[in-house]
């Protein structure tokens, strides 16, 4: 990783990096089909562990990619609000159910999906009732309650993965290949809250992001196929396909079957006071 980040060379072949991955994780053995999301989770977790100081109160990777999934539960009886926060190292989004195709028995062509609709899998509201009543600590009993889940804390790097590996009785293990429509610019101000952070940065409230990289997969099954990546450098797009690196058009990037998206904040947020 030090070689990759040194900036001493115009380009490098990351063979040492790949060999290190093979050495430290048997899950990613050579010449076997792997899942990009699983590899990303392994990589971020391993780097986070190695960069973390024994006395550190914060995490380098969480500072870059961290988002908080925030849950509130309001008890109907005592009106107490119970709160819970789960830190996330990037987002893993589920694709919305393909309702029209399900009703047609899988015979209709699936429709495209907007990226913002995928956020609904991590942002929702509902009720705890019946057999699923909320166990209230104040009432010391199970009670009906309202619940709400939101995303808080806007990261410098917004990392989005899509949960495309699916299983059901009809198809077994399969890939959800529906196209997710994404754009080079993303205003996430309605998707991710500010949280508890303080900053004089005017753009911080706006929460505008620019697309920097896309990981795509070709193949009809999660067990076979090929991963490629697009990355932006100096406002030019490049396609990374095994050992080949070639220029790419913005239109080809936006047409890709996205597995992973990387967005960067247009303005770096100031350090908390």
Q: 44-48, 68-72, 241-245 — which is least confidently predicted?
A: 44-48
57: exposed, middle or buried (Cβ count in 10 Å: 0-12, 13-18, 19+) = exposed
Q: What's the pLDDT at 180?
A: 92
Q: 4-13, 120-129, 230-239 — which is least confidently predicted?
A: 4-13
Q: What's the pLDDT at 261?
A: 96
Long-range contacts of 121-126 (CB under 8 A, 24+ apart): 121/93, 121/94, 121/96, 122/69, 122/91, 122/93, 122/149, 122/151, 123/149, 123/150, 123/151, 123/191, 124/148, 124/149, 125/149
Instruction: Answer whether residue 107 shows pLDDT above 70.
Output: no
- 196, 206 contact by CB (below 8 A): no
| SS3 at position 17 | helix
| Whole-number Cα distances in Å, 84 to 74, 146, 151, 191, 269 | 12, 14, 12, 19, 25
Q: Would you state the structure tokens that stand for residue 19, as one six-digit string?
A: 């060999």
Which pTM value belongs to this model? 0.81
pLDDT tens digits for range 149-181: 988 888 889 999 998 877 777 777 777 888 899
Q: What fold does the segment set 59-265 form as a domain?
A: Cathepsin B; Chain A (3.90.70)
Bridge partners for 213 per DSSP = 231, 262
């Amino acid at each position: 990783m030090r070689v990759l980040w040194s900036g001493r060379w115009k380009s490098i072949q990351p063979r040492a990096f790949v060999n290190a991955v093979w050495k430290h994780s048997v899950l990613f053995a050579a010449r076997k089909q792997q899942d990009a999301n699983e590899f990303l989770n392994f990589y971020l977790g391993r780097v986070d562990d190695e960069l973390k100081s024994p006395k550190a109160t914060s995490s380098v990777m969480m500072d870059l990619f961290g988002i908080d999934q925030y849950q509130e539960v309001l008890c109907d009886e005592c009106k107490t609000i119970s709160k819970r926060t789960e830190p996330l190292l990037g987002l893993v989004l589920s694709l919305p159910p393909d309702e029209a195709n399900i009703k047609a028995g899988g015979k209709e062509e699936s429709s495209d999906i907007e990226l913002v609709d995928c956020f609904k899998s991590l942002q929702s509201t509902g009720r705890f009732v019946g057999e699923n009543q909320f166990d209230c600590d104040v009432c010391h009993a199970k009670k009906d309650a309202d619940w709400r889940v939101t995303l808080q804390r806007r990261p410098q790097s917004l990392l989005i993965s899509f949960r495309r590996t699916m299983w059901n009785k009809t198809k077994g293990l399969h890939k959800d290949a529906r196209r997710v429509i994404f754009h080079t610019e993303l205003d996430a101000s309605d998707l991710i809250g500010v949280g508890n952070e303080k900053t004089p940065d005017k753009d911080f409230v706006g929460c505008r992001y620019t697309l920097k990289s896309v990981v795509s997969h070709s193949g009809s099954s999660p067990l076979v196929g090929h991963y490629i990546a697009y990355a932006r450098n100096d406002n030019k797009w490049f396609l990374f396909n095994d050992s080949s690196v070639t220029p790419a058009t913005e239109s080809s990037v936006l047409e890709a079957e996205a597995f992973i998206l990387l967005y960067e904040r247009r303005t770096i947020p100031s350090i908390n006071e």
